[in-house]
Amino acid sequence: MVSFKDPNAFSDPEDSTLVAEAKKHVEQPVEFNYTERDVILYNLGVGATEQELQWTFEGHEGFGALPTFGVIPQFPSSTGVPFDWLPNYNPAKLLHGEQYLKINGPIPERGSLINEARILEVLDKGKAAAVTTIVETRDKHTGELIFENQSTVFIRGAGGFGGKRAGKDRGPATAANVTPKRNPDAVVEEKTCPTQAALYRLSGDWNPLHIQPEFAAIGGFDRPILHGLCSMGISAKHVLKTYGPYKDIKVRFAGVVYPGETIVTEMWKEGSKVIFRVKVKERDAIALTAAAVTLVDEAAKAKL
């Protein structure tokens, strides 16, 4: 098991000196406490309804968090990793590129968690930098691993620092997840609410890009956009309702969704994997691609 406290835990001989030094920085653990209220708020934020009491009523016998709740506890930790060591770093030019979430068994309804974050990989794309952070989320009292998140961001204008240009294979976290040539095996549509982003941001992503028109305009958008992780959560809910529980999920953010638009999730089952793609119905535009979940096998389901 990798120790997040080891400054050389994620060293790579292909890294430039700049990257090697940045990787040695060890972030302080960040605590995250939550209750059933936070679970319900997240579930509502990704479109759970008053009819789906297993997700919106704490008294339901099957109550619990949707699997992608796992991106919430790590958020304060992952966003705290500094990128200002990059040349020409400008936070306004940062784009969320990919997200991978591993879910290690049932998600507690409430808890005290500890998040540890580190820089996992840095790629020099020439005109941009691609930085992947990894966050382990553990139970504060038992030390049990609950979630692992890998988040990749692209920082435009911050390339040219040397080092490797291509990343290593990290299994499901970097899988291409190419959609098969046949028609989807299942398709689910869901119209988002105009207030979707305003609701989702209460789960912890306070970026004004998703609520303030003036800030969205600076980013080049006509109006505030929906959080990429919200679009991921909605489509992941479609996969869950269609094929059942999964133990990991990976997506690439390829386009934006505006609150009020319709998310269309196209799914292809390939063995234990469900590959999916997300489109915006009104504009016939791709929002998520290179996406897939790994389904929980039957033996594991019996333990849950």
Cβ atoms of 151 and 170 closer than 8 Å: no
Catalytic annotation, pick one of 70, 97, 228, 233? 228
CA distance 251 to 175: 10
Instruction: Compute the C-alpha angle 72/76/79, nearest 5°.
Output: 110
What six digits make up the tokens of 26? 């060890």
Catalytic annotation, pick one of 15, 45, 124, 210? 210
Q: Closest Cα to residue 200, out of 221, 163, 223, 231?
A: 231
Is residue 228 among the annotated active site residues?
yes
Catalytic annotation, pick one of 114, 225, 234, 275? 225
Catalytic annotation, pick one of 15, 38, 124, 205? 205
H helix intervals, the chain = 17-23, 36-45, 53-56, 75-78, 196-200, 213-218, 228-243, 298-303
Is residue 205 among the annotated active site residues?
yes
Strand 262-270 relative to strand 273-280: parallel, antiparallel, unpaired? antiparallel
Q: Closest Cα to residue 256, out of 279, 233, 290?
A: 279
Is residue 225 among the annotated active site residues?
yes
Is residue 210 among the annotated active site residues?
yes
Burial bucket for residue 284 (CB in 10 Å: 0-12, 13-18, 19+): exposed
The catalytic residue positions are 205, 210, 225, 228
